Structure 1
Amino acid sequence: MEQLEQKIKKLWIMQECRNQMARYEYLHSAKKHAETYRLFALSRDDCWIENYDLGFFRGPESVKRFFVDFHENMDGTDVRGSFCEHTLTTEVMAVADDLKTAKACWMSPGCETRREPGTGKLTSYWVWVKYAVDFIEENGEWKFWHFTIFSDFCSDYYTSWVEMEYGTPATPDLLAPDGKPAMALAYTNQTKPQLWPVPPMPYKTYDGNTMTPRKE
């Protein structure tokens, strides 16, 4: 049975991780891309982000290419009317018994307003995703170590997601991912429900990313 002191430390770590994830949502909504990037454990070459639409990005420079270079290019110089807001729900979190890492996943309903390439027309979208995140302590702060974004569906305001036809997303040249996504999970009218990511269970020490298909 866990000692009271260890339980208290785990609760503190969990709150630090929750705050970090909430900061991500606020900063991302405000288009603070450089500040979002700094939420990662940038002293580690094995930090990564995987986006199931856009690819796998390993190491600080690749994470910067995804969060700063790509998003700033996508936003352009005129962000009037741009909107991006995602919420965090259904959290499952576990802290290692050795208190060195933590794992968590969330479902995230969201909505966005984007400018259509070429026309610049503002279009509203429903965008639902799931997050699976490994946290690690860096210089006294709990940072993102491994960060996976699973796309559930994206449909414009007037179109049911059942009616959407999904192809393989084109990866912009600017992104230059280090690898392809491990698998495709976006909803179609032919997909079957599955448990993914797998919510973290209590664990003693970090033994690999067990919530996503990608193995270290």
Structure 2
Amino acid sequence: MPAIDTDLSAEIQQLRMELQEARRLARRANDRGEIENLFNRYMYLHNAFQDEQIIPLWVKPGTPGIRARYTNAGQYTDYESVIRYHRNRPNPVGKLILHYTTTPVIEVAGDGETAKGVWIMTGNESGLTDPEVAKESPDYMYSPGEVQGKKVWAHWVWCKYAVDFLRQDGEWKIWKFRCYELLRAPFEENWISFAEKNQHAFALDLMYFGDDGKPVFMPPADEPVPAEYHPYNPSARQTLEPQPPIPHPTFTETFE
């Protein structure tokens, strides 16, 4: 009987350990699904100019470490400056954007409190610009001819995203956001020749094009970027940026 009891106790202990591990794996898989849904929801809302619905996807005001960066013009480290991008974003007549993301690499930290993800995005951006407004931009940004008396801009665009997530009040939220524009090209031109003449654009703090194609610029950044990033350049080699996340126990064990 003692031997049987010992064997049974060992078996029960083994089952408990296996159950604990199964629960851990199920929790991590569920977290990954929730994070992917969160970012995909962000993209669907962004494509439809529904930015007021994006604001609740971010961490709440006062959360330490919040950050957003889009260009080399600077980064935003205060809740209000981060959210300003989403407030009153215009939805001009005739404007269309379609960004769709692929190739996610998502790693939930071992403690289950934070997560990191990277995505590749491809799609198009297009709209109509009043001819007087168009004079302020290089002619190569526009397509030949006019539609409804306005200049046409129709671009293919490719980007990469690197996003950190925080579990807050039991839900995953966007915490740190980085967009890397990789390349773009007008519909009529290849991306290599366009990149050659458009290298200066990434230093600008352009936020988006508003009514009649008027450029709307970001507010002054909270701080400079720690290191510059540059889109595709026909005279430069490609680099691995951002780095895909790897398994990690806590957020402090990773690069930001």
What TM-score do you get using the length of structure 2 for normalisation? 0.74
Kept in 1, the 8 Å contact 2:118–2:160? The answer is: yes
Query: Is the partner of 2:193 in helix, strand or coil?
Result: coil
What TM-score do you get using the length of structure 1 for normalisation? 0.86
AA matched with 1:178: D
| Unmatched 5+ stretches in structure 2 | 1-17, 135-149, 207-216
Runs of 4+ in 1 over 3 A off after TM superposition: 114-117
CA distance in 1, matches of 2:177, 2:25: 25
CA distance in 1, matches of 2:65, 2:81: 11
Q: Deviations over 1:55-75 (max 9, x none)?
A: 311121011222325xx2xx3
2:173 is matched with 143
1:15 is matched with 33
Q: Deviations over 1:43-102 (max 9, x none)?
A: 314211111355311121011222325xx2xx3xx6221111111111111111111111
Q: Deviations over 1:115-158 (max 9, x none)?
A: 44704533111110000011111122101011110110122111
Kept in 1, the 8 Å contact 2:114–2:166? The answer is: yes
Q: Deviations over 1:186-211 (max 9, x none)?
A: 00111211111100000001116625
Structure 2 CA distance for partners of 1:58 and 1:116, relative to 1, 3 Å? farther
Match of 2:86 among 43, 53, 67: 67
2:255 is matched with 210
1:86 is matched with 99
How much has 1:8 moved relative to structure 2?
0.6
CA distance in 1, matches of 2:165, 2:66: 10
CA distance in 2, matches of 1:49, 1:188: 24
Query: Is the partner of 1:26 in helix, strand or coil?
Result: helix
Structure 2 CA distance for partners of 1:125 and 1:82, relative to 1, 3 Å? same
RMSD over aligned CA atoms reads 2.1
CA distance in 2, matches of 1:180, 1:207: 22
1:34 is matched with 52
AA matched with 2:204: A
Q: Deviations over 1:19-45 (max 9, x none)?
A: 100111110001011212221102314
2:230 is matched with 185
Higher Cα Rg, which structure: 2
| Between structures 1 and 2, the one with greater helix share | 2
Query: Is the partner of 1:207 in helix, strand or coil?
Result: helix
Kept in 2, the 8 Å contact 1:57–1:66? The answer is: no
CA distance in 2, matches of 1:66, 1:208: 30
Q: Using the TM superposition, name which of 34-43 and 97-106 deviates more.
A: 34-43
2:74 is matched with 55
CA distance in 1, matches of 2:222, 2:104: 29
AA matched with 1:6: R
| Unmatched 5+ stretches in structure 1 | 212-216
